[in-house]
Amino acid sequence: MISGVSDNGGASRKSAIAIVGASGLIGQALHRRLKNGYRILGTCHSRPREGLVSLDICRREFSILDDFDWVIVAAGISNIDRCKLERQRAYQVNVEAVLSMVEYLARRRIRVVYLSSDQVFDGTKGNYREEDLANPINEYGRMKWQVEWQCRQIQPDCLILRLSKTYGADRNEGGILAEVIDTLRQGKPYAAAVDQVFNPTHVDWLARKIESAVSRNLTGLYHLADPRIESRYAFACRVARESGFDPDRIQRISLADLRFPESRGLNSSLNVSRILNALSEPVADYPVSHA
């Protein structure tokens, strides 16, 4: 089964949610979104933050999660190049530790929400649907795909959400938007690949949709991203315009010009019609500019 709805209660009845990896861009947005409506726990490791509890998933000490009904797995090494250059360490964190945690949670009948990535695809065609075959071309994507597959074997009613490129409104959070703005504010041109295509997604929109997916008790695999598909160049131009900069300062390049250590697909964009139909919610258009 690719996707569906579990017979077990959703977050409307079970209100205890843990976010493993709450110090990252997505984890922070989830923590902000859920902290006022649910009993929550946010964990961190390499980036301590006030209000979060330290958890090193590689130590396999997961008892802190025992009292929760849902665990959202947002932890891991997500830098694509680092996953190649430090493959052994990345595999220990992204695969071995995460799967150990999923097994622990499944034994206790704690529902897992695993945040995966568009990098499970090779990027040759774009507009990928859930039923399209995965074919990762980088180590990060291969790790995500392995966890997806094994997670479904361990806990058949888990929820797996494949995400695209995310950004936040706060420049202190980092991400692609902060990168564009900071470069332009320094008076420099920003180089953006015209042939790299994805779904730029605001983290607050994403957090709201994840909450809705949990509250509706969705199970299986869904693509979750802003429906708008853009090239990195088009997105950077939009950021420049909405932030009061001249979009002509965005320099058109190709992805190959950047010479990354690791491979990246050109068009990893996701078709998100399945989850939008399942959630039956309007799509809000978030501004991309920030302070």
| Encoded amino acid at 248, one letter | D
Element (H, E) at 218: strand 218-223
Q: pLDDT at residue 169 above 80? A: no
Closest to 78 (Cα-Cα) out of 137, 138, 129: 138
As beta bridge partners, residue 18 has: 41, 71
Q: pLDDT at residue 14 above 70? A: no
Contact 79, 261 (CB under 8 A): no
* 204 and 246 fall within a common domain: no
Distance CA 112, CA 225 (A): 19
* 59 and 140 fall within a common domain: yes
* 61 and 76 fall within a common domain: yes
Average pLDDT of every residue of the chain: 92
Contact 276, 259 (CB under 8 A): no
114-135: per-residue pLDDT in tens?
Answer: 999 999 999 999 999 999 999 9
Q: Where are the alpha helices (DSSP H) in the chain?
A: 25-34, 80-85, 87-91, 98-107, 139-154, 176-185, 203-215, 232-242, 273-279
Sheet of 53-54: strand order equals 3-5, 218-223, 159-163, 111-117, 70-73, 16-20, 39-44, 53-54
* 149 and 84 fall within a common domain: yes
How many domains does the chain fold into? 2
* 117 and 99 fall within a common domain: yes
Backbone angles phi, psi at 235, to 5 degrees: -65, -45
Tell me the residue range of the domain where 74 lies.
Answer: 3-167+200-227+264-279
What pLDDT, on the 0 to 100 scale, is given for residue 5?
A: 61
In a domain, residue 286? The reply is no
Q: Is 190 helix (H, G, I), strand (E, B) or coil?
A: strand
Token pair for 282: 């309007």
The greatest distance separating any two alpha carbons of the chain, rounded to the nearest whole angstrom, comes to 55
Query: What predicted TM-score, i.e. pTM, was given to this entire model?
Result: 0.92
> If you average pLDDT over residues 52-58, what whole number do you get?
95
In a domain, residue 156? The reply is yes
* 20 and 163 fall within a common domain: yes
What pLDDT, on the 0 to 100 scale, is given for residue 2?
A: 73
In a domain, residue 74? The reply is yes
210-242: per-residue pLDDT in tens?
Answer: 999 999 999 999 999 999 999 999 999 999 999
Contact 6, 219 (CB under 8 A): yes
CATH code of 137's domain: 3.40.50.720
**Torsion over CA: 71, 72, 73, 75 (sign):** negative
Token pair 């008790």: residue: 217
In a domain, residue 284? The reply is no
* 184 and 144 fall within a common domain: no
Q: pLDDT at residue 163 above 60? A: yes
In a domain, residue 285? The reply is no
Q: Is 38 helix (H, G, I), strand (E, B) or coil?
A: coil
Contact 173, 291 (CB under 8 A): no
* 30 and 147 fall within a common domain: yes
In a domain, residue 105? The reply is yes
- Which is it for strands 3-5 and 16-20: parallel, antiparallel or unpaired? unpaired
Q: Is 56 helix (H, G, I), strand (E, B) or coil?
A: coil
* 118 and 218 fall within a common domain: yes
| Encoded amino acid at 129, one letter | R
What pLDDT, on the 0 to 100 scale, is given for residue 46?
A: 74
Token pair for 249: 């300062």
In a domain, residue 287? The reply is no
Q: pLDDT at residue 9 above 60? A: no
* 179 and 145 fall within a common domain: no
* 62 and 37 fall within a common domain: yes
In a domain, residue 125? The reply is yes
What pLDDT, on the 0 to 100 scale, is given for residue 275?
A: 97
Contact 106, 154 (CB under 8 A): yes
* 119 and 175 fall within a common domain: no
